[in-house]
A and B are shown apart, each in its own frame.
Chain A
Amino acid sequence: MRGAAVRTRPIVGAKRPRGLLRHLFLLAGVVVSLFPFYWMIVMATNTTSAIYRYPPTLTIGSELWTNIAHVFEKIPFFAAMGNTIVVAVSTTVLVLFFDSLAAFTFAKFEFPGRRALFGLLIAMFMLPAQLSLIPQFLVMVQFGWAGQLQALIVPAAANAFGIFWMRQYITGAVPDELLDAARLDGCGFFRQYWHVALPVIRPGLAFLGIYTFIMAWNDYVWPLIVLVDPDRLTLQVALSQLNRSYGQDYSMIMAGALLSVLPLVIMFTVFARGFIADAVKGAVRG
């Protein structure tokens, strides 16, 4: 029914212009997407007054090292980055495992309370996060976790967003026949997850992984509250100390912001390709 035959005129030729048009369209989108990032680089490499000038400076300047030096002078940049890496990596690993396992269960198995539990999960997703700041801090103080990195990692180790995403993804990506076959071969629940589902859901996991990593990397509101030890801060918390009360030094702030996202760009560039290529193979194999 879905792939029903659609009878229309066959389209002849015109392959090349269409490909070209497509690239032109995509490139236009790329320019729009990248320009503010480029402008961030412009700001980070100029002085703050050059940013304010009218007409605005649009070319890369020569102040980058000065601005970066100011950042290093004011905040413990690399120590903070180390902490951020610990938080982002452990959160991502835990989320990938817990979320995909729970999602696989919700997508492919029936068990008492399934709908109610899934509904609860989605409902939690709808509460404004800022609502929990004070009580969550109280909890962490009680646990003796205030100021510790696990206060960032453990509460984020499984989340409704990721479970919802993987559930939807698995619904389409893992054919029921495959699971039935595995069951006939005597595969239990966990082996079905590990040997049947995991290989085919790599693209979904890749997205979840990158997204989780970025969110953990850029998280700001909660770390700002819970990290009470000045010697143990994450990058975004440290960077927020560059804001002054009177008169911002935007070029320094941008230099800090640029340094902090470079690892994300590199990670994304390296992994985006590998993940997807693998995944396509996996899907074909499945």
Chain B
Amino acid sequence: MDPDTDVRRVPGSRRIRSYWPQYLAISPFFLIFAVFGLFPVLFSLYLAFHRWDGFGEMEFVGLQQFRYVLDDGTFWLSMRNTFIIWVISTVPMLAMALVIAAMLNSTKRFSAFYRVAYFIPNITSLVAVAIFFGAVFSTNFGLVNAVLQAVGLPTGRWLTDPLGMKIAVATVMTWQWTGYNAIIYLAGMQTIPSDVYEAAKIDGAGPVQTFFRITIPMLRPIILFTVIVSTVSGLQSFTEPQVLFGTNTTLNPNTGGPGQGALTMVLYFYHQAFDNRDFGYGAAIAWVVFAVIALFAAINWRLVQRREK
């Protein structure tokens, strides 16, 4: 894959100097990060060892905030919630996106229209989305319960039951990001040379075989990208539960709705840092969240990579 794989790990300034075009090419990101990103990162790490309310004295407390996080049942609840929401949103989202992309890829007519239409959820106002899905999942007047009732299934209290709330949040996320992932896959599928498909057709492969034997293997780098991005953004989910369940009350907003059923990790961080102005505790939570995400993303990376072989 890499043309210059014969690099030996000999650190020498002459060697390094010969790579100046490469370092120059990647420098903008790292420069911007050094100027604008590094200080916030170090600052928040520093904060995690202190108590701070945003503008009073900082008080050094050592590892105490981390001890509180690990002992905080609400934090563990938020982690459980986050993972449940992540699983029930990401899996159907990526699967559907792949199918939609494959269909779009073999469609000539209306394809520009489809692309625009599938991207629209990404630019629909979140307030509108929250009101809309609030109505869809409403107990007595919602579309979901009306349909369930019509086909004779038991209805649910989607906006107050802990599992129902997670399903509602996951539905919003799936709705919003499926088209986006489909567009990503579609962009990737355009790089698969058409003669590969031709060859498969000559061999008599149907669309399903072509999909599994050609499209998916050749799309692997892109699939890895979507898996990692949806892992990171899914485990950082914040906006959807906030707009669906955050604004019901002036006192204690952002606590994740009834029974904290939709309290995600980042929402809990936000609540501690910005509602309670407990910035030290918030920072400690955020770093634990970071560790969880990094670990989980690494696992996913390994899983997708290994299948590549």
In the assembled complex, which residues on chain B have CB atoms less than 8 Å from the CB atom of A186?
A: none
Flag whether B128 is at the interface (Cβ < 8 A).
yes
Q: Is the interface of B mostly helix, strand, loop or mixed?
A: helix
B 210-248 binary contact with A (CB < 8 Å = 1; else 0): 100110011101101100110010001010000000000
> Does the CB pair B19–A135 fall under 8 Å?
no
A110 pairs with B179, CB closer than 8 A: no
- Determine whether A247 belongs to the interface, using a CB cutoff of 8 Å to chain B: no
Least CB separation from A129: chain B residue: B236
Number of interface residues of A (CB under 8 A): 109
Q: Does B263 contact A (CB under 8 A)?
A: no
Q: With CB as the reference atom, state the residue of chain B lying closest to A203.
A: B187
Residues of the A chain whose Cβ atoms lie less than 8 Å from the Cβ of B206: 8, 11
- Closest-CB distance, B211 to chain A (whole angstroms): 11
Q: Are A164 and B225 in contact (CB under 8 A)?
A: yes
Q: How many of chain B's residues have a CB under 8 angstroms from any CB in A?
A: 108
Residue of A nearest to B55 (CB): A134
* Chain A window 184-217, contacts with chain B (Cβ cutoff 8 Å), 1 for yes, 0 for no: 0000111001000000100110110011001000
Within 8 A of A (CB), among B104-137: 104, 106-107, 109-110, 112, 114-125, 127-129, 131-133, 135
- Give Cα A189–Cα B21 distance, bound, in whole angstroms: 7
Least distance between A61 CB and chain B CB atoms (Å): 15
Using CB atoms, name the residue of chain B closest to A277. B112
Cβ contact within 8 Å between A3 and B40: no
Residues of A bordering B, CB below 8 Å: 2-11, 18-19, 22-23, 25-26, 29-30, 32-37, 39-40, 43, 51, 54-56, 98-99, 101-102, 104-106, 108-112, 117, 121-128, 130-132, 134-136, 138-139, 154-155, 157-161, 163-165, 168-169, 171-173, 176, 179-180, 183, 188-190, 193, 200, 203-204, 206-207, 210-211, 214, 218, 250, 253-254, 257-258, 261, 264-265, 268-269, 272-273, 276, 279-280, 283-284
